[in-house]
Structures are given as structure tokens and as C-alpha cells.
Structure 1
């Protein structure tokens, strides 16, 4: 299989996912309360076996799931993605005990996960984190169950987390958080550690933020929250790798989410311009309209192919994954913004009525250009990788 075509079985599966999203997930999404975790929807994703695929399949499979779900139910897509984002560090870097304790609930849809990286003054710059993990002799946690403030069973002294996180999806309603904190001051990216922090840990509190989002987004406050070696994901001072490994996987799939929305908007535009009478004919008969629809289709397909290529590169362990992942997210999210905006323009005022598909997509499509690294950050990553490759090639050539 190449990065530019899908097998018949994959195409069939994508069609089945779109049908499931429309028939079984859309009704549950409609019953959800905006700004809160829709636990019934998450549980249904688990019952359908989709959450388990987050940890048993590759990046391309993840992209196909997100694109297909987004076409019919963006809320289901987002619920699935947030489970993966919050729990992937546990799956990929956690201990056997951590995985056994938390992943079964994530897969079943009964345990809600969250990825806590951003801070009030450190959004896309993960190396600038200020949430502090201060060494604290005797601070220990023994999940599951209450925190026990006695000796660390692994012989370590533990830490106390102090500071804030902000713009955290699923906060403050998640059951556990993957938290990134500074364990070595002044060390930049090399001084960050990833911790698995249960929501009921003493000193941890959260508050919702009033955001343009159907799922909760909140702030977390850490008041000397105790953590120990048993809570570390990966290794101390190696949390930046955990964060980047997770983002390199999920950035192309953010692009897949965007492609799904773009395709839904394009489909709506084709249907509307075919049926809408205007100026003695159909809208589609106007060359200016037909050319706009053609441009929307062109950009959507180009974004889709770049997303698939980036996902395939990840699955094959290619060395240029950071650049490809950044390109895929950048192109797809910017494309989706364009396509949805054009679709709204072609529909006219009706697209702005509350409850219209395009009104919904118009609100949903803006955020992906910001989260998991804004478009400007993606351009920075692409440029950095290009110059790094140039410098390495020049050194090897001895010029």
C-alpha cells in the first residue's frame, strides 16, 4: 500500500464509520450538555471498539477514524481524540502497573483522560513550562486509592507539583491527567518530566473556562500535589520526549479531523448548489460557483493526501516525521478553514442559522488552527527541520 491510496477494505471501513457516526453517535452527541464531558458518548465509543483501536492500530488508522467520524459527528471525533491524546503517554511510556490501572477504563469509555501541557504563559512552547515539581521527601501516592505520605516504595523522595495548567480539554472533569512539569530549573526541554496524576489527588483543583467548544476546557491549579516515581511516565527529565512523541502521532490526525470537516462542508456545498435555483438556472451552472467548488475539492484532496503521507511516515518510522506531521496539520487545518468559509458563502444566510451543519462546522473549524501547536508553530517546525537537514548535509559534504 502506498501513502496515496487506500485498500478497498479501508474504504469500506471508513464508510461504516461514517454510518455509525450518523446513526449511533450523532443522537448521543445531540443529547450532551455543551461544556461537559458527554460520558454516554465516550462509553458508546468504547462499546463500538473504537477506543481500543487507539492503542492497537497505527497513525493511518487513527487518521481514518478521525476523518470518518468528523464527517458526521465532530463531537464523537473529539471525544475519541481526547481519550487518545490523554492516554497515549500511558500506553507508550507508562509502566505495566500504570497501564493495567488506567487503560482498561479508557478503552471501555468509563475513564476519561486528559493531556495537560499548556500553561497560561506557555501554550505551544513546551520547553517554557513553569509548573514546578519540587523534590519532597516522603510525598508518595499509591494509585489506586488514597495518597499515602510515607516512603516511596521505589526508594525515591517524590515531588510536589505547584503551578497552573490552562486550556486543558476535558478539564476539570477528567478522571486522570498526563501532566508535564519542570523537574530541573533552567534546563529547558531537558528538564521536564511527565506524570500521571489522578483527578482526586490532594491539592489538585480545576475550574471550567467559558470557551467556544462543545466539550469542557478548563484550568488546573496544583497546590503542592504529591507525586512519586510510581507516577512518572517515561523517565525523570525526559518528559519533553513523551510530549513530542504524542504530538507527532496526533498532529497528522488533527489534520484528518480537519479533512473530515472540509469534506462535510464540500458535500453540503455540492448538494446546495445543485438544488438551489438562481438567475434562471441552478447555482452550479454559474462558472464562478463551479470554480469555487472545484477549488474546495482540490484543496481538500491535497490536504487528505498529505495527512495520509504523514501518517504512513509515522507508521514506517521515517526520520522526517516531525516535519511531515507539522505540514499535515498546517495544510489540513488551514484548508478546512477555507473550505468551510467558502461553503458558508455559497449557502448564504441560511448557513448562519443556529443548528445548520455549516454553522456548527464554522464554530468547530477554528480551534484546530490553534491547539496542539498553532499554525505559526507548525511553520517554525517545518523551517527548523529544513535548515537542520541542510546543515547536516553540508557538514557531511565537507562544504
Structure 2
């Protein structure tokens, strides 16, 4: 069953979400109309004397690449779920490309002395790739508050205490400089080694903490010397040297040694943004925080699979959960598009000029309905639009190739571009 449907009254006051079957009844009887497609929201056509408002709890599981959202009732019913995929990696890559082009162009055209000590970052500044995660999470929290009666918000603050894991005896002033307090070494290793055996890459088997350089030969308990191994590989290795154990598998040996020294980038990104997310969302509603260990304990106790939106439902104080939504909304951040009017080649030189947007009131990414009166593509189509300045356009219907047509055939806009791409996980 899909997510419950949001409902607002004539004054745009959020009401209790309704079952999809009830939503179809409201639409077929003419008592409601579609107000928004994503998230799917109905608006009532007549005033409701005694509106049915039951407060909900919004739970958020922030992640480096994917953030989970869940709406839970007081009885523990999960009525709405969503997974938001961030684009922080794309932002970082494009900033690096732009910087490289700028440096090449400046070195070819003219020389300018380097500038120092003339730029100051604001307090609480975050890189654009990390600030994007904060802003998209805040955007969806505000949307859900707008369309459903959210009483409070629970946010998971994931922490990996890397400094305490490197030096377990650290305390006092030294420990105050540490970060990521609250997660066990085992959970850190599960994330770092992708929940697989480091030697044979087996999944979904019991994993044991393994010393890469054995303690009997001087190996330490530092997290950089630990990995995960299945029971068979752990016993087979024993106190052998890692090079002797994997001498016939040089590729795996190289990857194990490389990954052992590499930091957990995703955990670092979450740790850098966790306080900022709580700060910005607390401006819109009351916020409570929970630990990642508590979330995992709730998920394991309830026997739920590992999913971001289910992790979100397990955040905070949970006694029992009833999953009423088995088809979460999958959202991918796509960005608003470039503002660069002059398109360049790979060397940074201009090759053509892009037209001003919007074109005849349409933008690339709008979901529209097109009525084609004649030709091989005759009929009514709904899909994403790509308009051109000459009056033509292309539409991408679901499950079909692109169709070329005219902008004059667009009958209505179903959903305006909002920097996100949507689909349902069946």
C-alpha cells in the first residue's frame, strides 16, 4: 500500500492524512481536488465544521547520501515515508571543475598576484556540498509541516567517537577536542567495511572484529588496525601476517590496506552537519534528538529491515510500530539548473549561448500534459518537459522514449519544476 494522502481545508490548514482509498472517494465525489502532486495533497472544496486533526510526529534520519523521513501517529502507526537522495558529491565535483577552468583561463590570459587574508568566512560556515544536505532537509521538513499536522520532530544525531576509539584512555581536556561521541567500535567498522567480510567479501553472515596485524605480533587496538571478517576467514588467518595470508590475492591485499587507513567520509559529513540540521529545523517546530545506537536498538528489536525511512521511524522513543505505508516516496535532488548563459567547452572557451528561462512560461523539468492532435504520436501524454526557444519541445512520458512536439500543444502543467525528481519504490 502506498503512502497516506495529505489533506488541507479551504484555509490551507493541514488535517489528518487519509487512506488512499478514502482519497479516491473524495476525488470521485467532487468533495476535494488535487492541490499538489508531490507530496500528493488534496484540498477540500467545502468548509469542514469540526476538522479531524490528529497530531503526528515527524522523524528524520539524516545521512550523507540519503536522508529518511517518516510520519508516525501517537499509536505508532507509520502513515508516510520518504527517502531523499542528496547531490553533495555532484556539487563538489562541479565546484572543482569550475575552479580548474578558472585557474587555467587566468593563467593563459593574464597574471594576477595571489590574494591572501582578504576573505573571511561567516561563523558556522559549511562547504556548499554539506550545506546542501542541511538546506534540502530543512526544505522537506517545512513542506511536511505545511501539509500535515506535525506536533514535534525527532532527529537522529549519528556520532562515531573516532578519537576515543583511537585512544580509549583519553579524557578531560583532551577528550573535549574529540568528536563523534556515542557509537561503538563495531558499528563504526560495520559502516566502514560495508557490512562485508574484508577478506572474502561475504554478506549477510555473522562478522567478527579482526586485527589486521595480529596482537601477538605487536598489533594495536586502534580502529585503523581493525576490520571485519567471517568466522572462517578469521580462524584461517589466525596470527599470520596480512601479506602472507593474502599473498595469492594481491588485489584484495591492496584494497584492505588502503581501506584500513581511509577515513569514513560519510560519517564525517553527517557529523559536520548534524548540529546545523537541528539548529535550522528547530526554528520551525520543537525538536528532540536521539542517538544512532537507540535507533539501531529499536530497529533490531522490532525486526525491521535496514532502510533509511524505516530507520527514521525508529528514531527516538519507540514502543511498537505498525507500518501502514509499504511504498515510500523516493526523491532525488536534481538542482535548479545552471545560471550560466554562456556554455563553454572543456577548455573554458565559449561555444554557444543558452536561452533565457522560462520559455513561454515553461521550464525544463516541468511535468505537463500534452494533447497532440495528429501524427504518429497522436494522443494525450504526461511527462517531463524540455522546452526550446523556437517554440518546440520534447516530453519524456513514463516508460517511453522522448517525443518531439510543439509548446502550443501543452494543455496544463501538472507539477512545476522544484529541483527534485520523484518516483515510488514498488
Larger Rg: 2
TM-score w.r.t. the length of structure 1 is 0.23
TM-score (norm 2): 0.22
Q: Which has the higher strand share?
A: 2
